[in-house]
Amino acid sequence: MTTTIDNPVMRPVTTVPVPTATYLTPDGQLVSSVPVGASYADDHTHLEWGDPLVPGAVVLDEQVAPRASWSGVVRAGQVLTIVDVGGNQSGDCLLYNAQHTDERYSAPDTLAWQDNAYIRTGTVLRSNLGRALMTVVDNEIDRQDTIGGACSRESNTLRYGHHVMYHHGCRENFLTEGAKHGLGMRDIVSNINWFMNVPIEDDGALGIVDGMSAPGKRVALRAEIDTLVLISNCPQMNNPCNDFNPTPLRMIVSEPDTDLEYEADA
Amino acid sequence: MALAADHSTDTVLNARADARAQGGQVSDWMPYLPASSSPFCPEDVAADSLTWAETVAPGGYTHKVLARGTRFRLEDPTGEACAHTLLYNALEPTERLNVADTQKIPWQAYLGAGHPLLSGDGRVLATILTDTSGRHDAFCGTSTAAWNALRYGTALPEGPAPAGRDLFVKAAAKHGLGPADVPPSVSFFQGVRVAGDGSFDWFGSSGAGTAVELVAELPLIVLIANVPHPRDPRPEYVVGPLRVHAWRTPETNPTTPADERFDASPEVRRAYLNTLDYAEARGL
Ligand SMILES: [Zn+2]
């Protein structure tokens, strides 16, 4: 610039060294100063990778790394098996009509139609238009949660304190994954938490407690229409939604050999 | 190793007690609330005038809506910060930082004290008031996932080498803005210069303890992604924490004709006139 303006001497700021750590990458190792949250240790965590819960030809089989996001379209009639590989790993999940994403999963419609607060085998996962998106055709957990919502940077500061603002959270994962499909903040609604335990006690007390799942436990969802599935493999470090030990998930989509027992009543 | 043994979370009441027991801690990177409680309040600023105080994590992002006339200062305590920055008119976010105009209108490619950060609508979003670094960049923008995958072998936003664009997309989403609303950005504290043949010469940082201070000429949405400059030549992904403070007092006004910088050049004078005209019409 040709101009000169007042440039007062500013207080020197305290200087500190930048800590670095070494992280595994697909290509090897990377030295980075980014504070990445804890994840499971291979040699201390029992993993069960499981199999599809219904017989049929596998058309997609992918692993979701701890703390990561995932998305995929399950075509009408196909079945998505989600495997809780490390046990008690919350798979935060949102569903959308793959053709018209304004139609998306609705927790209240799902619960009101079935007159029950928990998701179990036979639960029809309904949209905000009351239509069936997917049906739970098999499930190895006593009950699955759709009340507890997703963790976020912002709500974590309410629950634990402002010191956790830079912890990773599920809403961050939903934003990252949703952006790949043209979805933004207003598209993130109340979600499902596969393998997470949120009891509602007699006096109304409600919260995330130790899970009822175990390594290799599964849930199977049949798509009633082409359904876009978003997953956040919950990176939470402050509550038991993942046993304080983020582990992988496995997502398997198959074409079932036979008609499944539970028919959507849409 | 699992931390579950350190927690008792078998019932709702136990889980609640466990969560509440985590309160009151501090982190090397966090917002300070209220802002007046900042442990790093600038010496020349009254703590009770602070409206934003935060240390941004390496590889982290932050965002804030600032009132017109707010001063905000970015500090690089380690000499390793790189504050990729986007500005939007908070009232009409289709008006946003335009890097081309920011370089072209002042006839100056390199950001420094007095440089206006212009929108594409002929107005000044913010003015750089002071600068003790002199190492900034408006050419290279921020990193993308494709670039970081090439440079570092990984680019996941939750991983050790997040890309600036992916952080901007998340920050923008929190103001109702989508990926198409993330334009080219400027970056502070890591500089490049253009050589005679057009190649970028890496100047990097001017060291620990530098700062830039800006004034919001309009109500602003400020997005900041603190990630390495895309031309940072090191094989390691190194970025330091970034300190942010903003404050407002009766003296912290947007630029007016009473300020010397208002008449710094005929172009910038007209940009300030446009800005004041807009503010006046809107009753700001
Ligand atoms: Zn979560």
pLDDT digits (tens, 9 = 90+) for B68-87: 999 999 999 999 999 999 99
**pLDDT (0 to 100) of residue A39:** 84
List the 117-176 stretch of A: residues with Cβ below 8 A of B.
157, 159-166, 168, 172-173, 175-176
Chain A residue numbers with beta carbons less than 8 Å from the beta carbon of B243 are 13
Q: Band of the pLDDT at A260, cuts 50, 70, 90?
A: low
Ion ligand 1 neighbours, Cβ < 5 Å: A 151, 170, 234, 236
**pLDDT (0 to 100) of residue A14:** 47
**Smallest Cα distance from B239 to chain A, Å:** 6
Contacts 24+ apart (CB under 8 A), B44-53: B44/A8, B44/A10, B44/A11, B45/B73, B45/B245, B45/B247, B46/B247, B46/B249, B49/B247, B49/B248, B49/B249, B49/B252, B50/B245, B50/B246, B50/B247, B51/B246, B51/B247, B51/B248, B52/B244, B52/B245, B52/B246, B53/B244, B53/B245, B53/B246
User: What does the pLDDT look like over A53-99, one tens digit per residue?
Assistant: 999 999 999 999 999 999 999 999 999 999 999 999 999 999 999 99
**pLDDT (0 to 100) of residue A43:** 76
Q: How far is the CA of A176 from the centre of ligand 1 (A)?
A: 14
- Beta-strand runs (E) in B45-142: 50-56, 61-66, 71-76, 83-89, 116-118, 124-131, 136-137
User: What does the pLDDT look like over B183-203, one tens digit per residue?
Assistant: 999 999 999 999 999 999 999
Give the whole-angstrom CA distance, residue B6 versus residue A172: 26
Give the whole-angstrom CA distance, residue B106 versus residue A109: 57
Please tell me if residue B12 touches chain A, with a CB cutoff of 8 Å: yes
Chain A residue numbers with beta carbons less than 8 Å from the beta carbon of B24 are 161
Instruction: Verify whether the Cβ–Cβ distance B239 to A18 is below 8 Å.
Output: yes
A240 strand-pairing partners: none
Residue of B115, B66, B78, B98 whose CA lies nearest to B223: B66
List the 138-167 stretch of B: residues with Cβ below 8 A of A.
152-154, 156-162, 166
Distances (CA, A) of B8 to A54, A169, A236, B65: 36, 22, 16, 39
Please tell me if residue B272 touches chain A, with a CB cutoff of 8 Å: no
Across the range A233-247, mean pLDDT stands at: 93
3-state secondary structure (DSSP) of residue A18 = coil
Residue of B116, B142, B136, B127 whose CA lies nearest to B61: B142
User: What does the pLDDT look like over A94-125, one tens digit per residue?
Assistant: 999 999 999 999 999 999 999 999 999 999 99
Measure CA B245 to chain center: 11
Give the residue ranges of chain B where pLDDT is below 70.
Answer: 1-2
Q: Band of the pLDDT at A19, cuts 50, 70, 90?
A: confident
How much is the pTM?
Answer: 0.91
* CB hemisphere CA count around B93 (13 angstroms): 18
For Cα atoms B37, B38, B43, give the angle at the middle one, nearest 5 degrees: 115
Chain A residue numbers with beta carbons less than 8 Å from the beta carbon of B78 are 15-18
Tokens of B55: 């240390």
In Å, the largest CA–CA distance within chain A is 79
**Smallest Cα distance from A260 to chain B, Å:** 36
Chain A residue numbers with beta carbons less than 8 Å from the beta carbon of B16 are 207
pLDDT above 80 for A10: no
Tokens of B138: 């408006």
**Among candidates A10, A67, A208 on the partner chain, residue whose Cβ is nearest the Cβ of B15:** A208
3-state secondary structure (DSSP) of residue A140 = coil
Domains of chain A, by residue range, sit at 40-256
Please tell me if residue B223 touches chain A, with a CB cutoff of 8 Å: no
Hey, of A151, A176, A181, A239, which one would you mutate to test binding to chain B, going by the most B CBs within 10 A of its CB?
A176
Please tell me if residue A204 touches chain B, with a CB cutoff of 8 Å: no
List the 73-102 stretch of A: residues with Cβ below 8 A of B.
none
Instruction: Verify whether the Cβ–Cβ distance A5 to B209 is below 8 Å.
Output: no
pLDDT above 70 for A264: no
In Å, the largest CA–CA distance within chain B is 69
